[in-house]
Amino acid sequence: MGSAILLKTPAEMEIMREANQIVGAALKMLADRVAPGVTTLQLDEWAETFARDHGSEPAFKGYHGFPGSLCVSLNEQVVHGIPSKKVVLKDGDIVSIDFGVRYKGYYGDSAVTLPVGELPGPLSKLLTVTRESLYRGIEQVRVGNRINDISKAVQQHVEAHGFSVVRQFVGHGIGVNLHEPPEIPNYSRNEQSPRLLPGMVLAIEPMVNLGKYEVKVLADGWTVVTKDRKPSAHFEHSVAVTENGPLILSEVA
């Protein structure tokens, strides 16, 4: 990543809204189809077809060699899980689905963690708190605030409920590239962070663990798991900084 934060014009913002609406609609479609017996490869195929049917292409497929259109991460997998016909969803799983598209030269990116069937209380709470922490972060997307205001809001909400925030992976700016400056940590760093300006578009994505925050990458070079093998949840929206406060580009009605 270079250091310059690229501000988007209203016209660029509108294309990015369209890109993110495709992503949001795809995730909504997948949420309706997540069920015991479905493979993660099947989810991947549905997402890719949806993207192409809507005039976009999957952003992750081939990105640094990633083989799938979706990142599908189950239970103790945090992010970057590879879709597979061998991985079958079962009752009581949680599945994190991260999807991005490229549309008219711009990227959209969003993620959600879904229950498969009924969940025990602690897992259900993990999903609720992670999703809430995303919105706590989004509330801080105001002109004149700093990136660290987002980070702090996420961290405080997560830790108040006894969960932990992943530190090794962070949110990011987004635009003509999938990953642009600035980095958006989900925890407060003791350093001066960039000020929020109109035209910035931020992919805010809390990754929250039931246990400790440490993670590691598996031998496949992609799949990130919690070191203690306890479950993890992940929610993400692409959000524009405007004079009127945050505009969530990837939220669909």
What is the C-alpha separation between 23 and 107, in angstroms, rounded? 10
Per-residue pLDDT of the chain (253 residues; tens, 9 = 90+): 446 899 999 999 999 999 999 999 999 999 999 999 999 999 999 999 999 999 999 999 999 999 999 999 999 999 999 999 999 999 999 999 999 999 999 999 999 999 999 999 999 999 999 999 999 999 999 999 999 999 999 999 999 999 999 999 999 999 999 999 999 999 999 889 999 999 999 999 999 999 999 999 999 999 999 999 999 999 999 999 999 999 999 999 8
Q: What is the pLDDT of residue 253?
A: 83
Q: What is the pLDDT of residue 4?
A: 87
Domain boundaries along the sequence of the chain? 10-248
Query: Residue 51 is encoded by which pair of tokens?
Result: 């993207």
Query: Residue 213 is encoded by which pair of tokens?
Result: 């925050």
Residues 6+ apart with CB under 8 A from 221: none
Q: What is the pLDDT of residue 22?
A: 98
What is the C-alpha separation between 212 and 21, in angstroms, rounded? 34
Nearest residue to 97 via CA among 27, 152, 161: 27
SS3 category, 136: helix
Q: What is the pLDDT of residue 55?
A: 98
Cβ atoms of 175 and 16 within 8 Å: the answer is yes
What is the C-alpha separation between 17 and 45, in angstroms, rounded? 23
Query: Residue 107 is encoded by which pair of tokens?
Result: 């990227």
Could you please state the CATH topology (level 3) that the domain comprising 10-248 is classified under. Creatine Amidinohydrolase (3.90.230)
Q: What is the pLDDT of residue 190?
A: 86
